Amino acid sequence: MKKEIKAYFKKRPSLRIKAKELSKKLNFTEPHEYAKLKEVLHTLSEEGYLEKTGKRFKLITKKASELVGKLSIVENGNFGFVTLEDKKGKDIFIPEKYLSTAFNNDTVEVIILASKRGKNLEGQIVNVVNRARKEYVGVLSKSKSFYFVQPDDNKIHRDFYIAADNLNGAVNGDKVVVSEVEWTNNLLNPEGKIKEILGKAGSYDAEISALAREFNLPYAFPKNIIKETEEISDVISPSEIRKRLDLRKKVVFTIDPEDAKDFDDAVSIDFLNNGNYKLGIHIADVSHYVDLNSALYAEALNRATSVYFVGKVIPMLPERLSNNICSLVPNKDRLTYSVMVEITPRGKLVDYSIVKTIINSKRRFTYDEAQEIIETGKGDYSNEILKLNAIAKTFKKKRLRKGSINFITSEVKFELDENGIPVGVNIKKIKESNNLIEELMLLANQIVAAHINKNKDEADNPFLFRIHDTPDKDKIDEFSGFVKTLGYQSTADFTNPKVLQKLLEEVQGTEEEALVNEIAIRSMAKAIYSTNNIGHYGLGFNFYTHFTSPIRRFPDLIVHKLIFNYVEKKESLLKANELADICDHASNRERNAINAERLSVKLKQIEFLKNKIGFEYYGIISGIANFGIFVEICENLAEGLVRLKDMDDDYYLLDEKNYSIIGKSSKRRYRLGDKVNVKIIGINEERREIDLKII
């Protein structure tokens, strides 16, 4: 009815009409229909869509101040911000009372109000243009005579009412998928129907499936994709081998994490008679098996990336390809696309080729195994690994000298039992063996991007680049102010990557290292995929792409197809606008996957700590807000909140300029980056919160 009324007024922008007349025009003349129509008219006038003068209603014509953008609601739904589609101006602040019937990530129309909140204009949502999601995941509960679903996503700020005849067999405590959601009146809760039962809330499979649904991630592969994959032969034909450079007798090996299931890169080194070295960076040739016109290609494009949850991977490609046919497992012939590079002992590039190859990996190393060889000088292929490590160190040194920024981000690794329950958590350590592989992959990605750029006509040969813009000055100024509070130089020009790198080296090994790196990363622009090459600020590269992980990233797969097409001097594979759409889609999917992976880690941290109420930990203040301070526990990187209301030794006020809170009487100050001892006083799994108290 709401849609019908809105459509009627839109076609007649100058019409003024009474409710009774409108009911006749739209044939809503039954008493219950007329009552509902009046309720909808009242809602539309409250939302700022209709104007009521006396008993007549009129469409409020679009104002200059009415804008369209994407709504981002903060956790727990207290307020949100609308980022405008044209990206001009700051985000618009939306208080809770003006969120109307919009959900997180919906596209909305917003009217600017006269008031201003801090740095942002205040607005009111007047229309939901497009829903971001069609399905929502949560836990079904029963309260007296009615059912409701509490969403897992705590940015969805209202529970869903479920009528008894829409339960679809679900019972109290089930993790469910809600669809066909209707919400026309913000005074009432949204209504929906149970589409699917994922399992009992709390079970590992149900929670992983729920997490995938929450982020709109394709989970199981459709039957037609599995069938198409099963028809792919795992036998390499002699004719295909003849087309390729045969490297099967070469010493080629992989170095990957201990728990890796797919191996998409391998390396080799030859010692040449002229004293130079020939490096081989061999990448799984997924493009050979995924045809451009296949359903498998369309599915990989839709997924765009593999997603790595704690203890579970949602792959971009079915396991028959990702873990078997394409994976560079030891002692098996595998098709690869290789970058062969001749360098001098001092790391100067002499020559290179990008060529289709076939390899047979001689050994699968874990990072720890390769690290032991680096440290002891003993083990399988120690000569090759030691020389590759020395070359990687040379590359890194040159890269940093030229202006590359070496951000250090800490990650956690969980020990899970057979039920997926975390029984231990450790912080991953980056070692030389990790850097060895990283530097060689960076080299290959640079060479491929620079090669495609040589003498190319962009109109005829559009290409996919990985770009990173220079940081926003306001964000860098804020970062500068933050490091000043820690006692570091704040007058430096941190837009200069060399200056920023010098700071990161200064904080290396200190307790605030992780926080300074994290805040620095937040101050940066986001790296994205684009057909328009502007270089990569963070790495300091003029040309950069993603070529080295085609099993888990779609951009790498399409780069393989593009570069081969370019090398073979065939016609353009994709039109510029088609490739630009792929870049946008892949960038969006990547951000979504990162957010899902972070939440997966956070949920496991919460699960690990839920039985540790009363335990004390050492932490560092990672965030300051007017309601409390966030503390990251150093032992496991879990972040909790110390609420100001729980700080009973004084009344604390926010000092936003100096990134701190100050006690009104004692003048005691807690700053971003300060070290504190905290105690866990509460865990709320539904709200995804860890409550802490400073001790």
Q: What pTM was computed for the model?
A: 0.81
Q: Encoding tokens for residue 118?
A: 């801090």
Write down the pLDDT at residue 64.
45
Euclidean distance between CA atoms 480 and 308, whole angstroms: 34
Domain end (from 214, 242, 268):
214
Domains contained in the chain, number: 6
Is residue 603 in some structural domain? Answer: no
Q: Are residues 569 and 630 in the same domain?
A: no
Q: Are residues 560 and 674 in the same domain?
A: no
Residue matched to tokens 């990134």: 659
Side chain identity at residue 366, one-letter code: T
Write down the pLDDT at residue 685.
82
Q: Are residues 15 and 154 in the same domain?
A: no
- Could you give phi then psi for residue 197, rounded to 5 degrees? -105, 120
**In which domain, by residue range, is 84 found?**
66-130
Is residue 339 in some structural domain? Answer: yes
Closest to 575 in 3D by CA, of 449, 467, 458: 458
Is residue 455 in some structural domain? Answer: no
pLDDT digits (tens, 9 = 90+) for 256-294: 999 888 999 999 999 999 999 999 999 999 999 999 999
Q: Are residues 318 and 207 in the same domain?
A: no
Intervals of the chain under pLDDT 70:
47-48, 61-66, 76-77, 87-89, 114-119, 455-460, 489-492, 569
Is residue 605 in some structural domain? Answer: no
pLDDT digits (tens, 9 = 90+) for 102-160: 999 999 999 887 656 666 788 889 889 999 888 999 999 998 788 999 998 878 888 99
Whether the Cβ atoms of residue 538 and residue 458 lie closer than 8 Å to each other: no
Q: What is the DSSP letter of 323?
A: I
Q: Which helix (H) or strand (E) holds 33?
A: helix 31-46
* Residue 528, beta-bridge partner list: 467
Domain end (from 157, 187, 214):
214
| Dihedral sign from CA coordinates of 329, 330, 333, 338 | positive
Euclidean distance between CA atoms 76 and 688, whole angstroms: 10
Radius of gyration of the chain (CA): 29
- Could you give phi then psi for residue 475, rounded to 5 degrees? -70, -40
Is residue 604 in some structural domain? Answer: no
Residue matched to tokens 């602040």: 93
Q: Are residues 441 and 517 in the same domain?
A: no
The enclosing domain of 111 has a CATH number of 2.40.50.690
Whether the Cβ atoms of residue 660 and residue 669 lie closer than 8 Å to each other: yes
Q: Are residues 537 and 614 in the same domain?
A: no
The enclosing domain of 670 has a CATH number of 2.40.50.140
Is residue 27 in some structural domain? Answer: yes
Q: In sequence order, what E strands does 494-573 have?
A: 528-530
Q: Are residues 232 and 323 in the same domain?
A: yes
Euclidean distance between CA atoms 585 and 565, whole angstroms: 22
Q: Are residues 149 and 228 in the same domain?
A: no
Q: How would you label 515-552 residue by residue, b for 16+ Cβ within 10 Å and e otherwise?
A: bbbbbbeebbeebbbbbebebbbbbbbebbbbbbbbbb
Closest to 572 in 3D by CA, of 456, 445, 455, 448: 456
Which alpha helices (DSSP H) does 169-234 contain, by range?
204-214, 223-230
Residue matched to tokens 């430096």: 492
Q: Are residues 518 and 537 in the same domain?
A: no
Q: Are residues 354 and 423 in the same domain?
A: yes
Q: Render 217-255 in DSSP notation, one character per residue.
A: ---SPPHHHHHHHHTS--SPPHHHHHTSEE-TTS--EEE
Q: In sequence order, what E strands does 248-348 have?
A: 253-256, 265-271, 277-284, 307-309, 312-314, 333-343
Q: What is the DSSP letter of 652?
A: E
Q: Are residues 365 and 227 in the same domain?
A: yes
Q: Are residues 511 and 534 in the same domain?
A: no
Write down the pLDDT at residue 185.
87
Side chain identity at residue 176, one-letter code: V
Other beta carbons within 10 Å of 664: 10
Side chain identity at residue 21, one-letter code: E
* Residue 694, beta-bridge partner list: 678
Side chain identity at residue 198, one-letter code: L
Is residue 681 in some structural domain? Answer: yes
Q: Encoding tokens for residue 480?
A: 């500068």
Domain end (from 499, 523, 547):
523
The enclosing domain of 204 has a CATH number of 2.40.50.700
Euclidean distance between CA atoms 556 and 464, whole angstroms: 9
Other beta carbons within 10 Å of 417: 10
- Could you give phi then psi for residue 569, rounded to 5 degrees? 60, 40
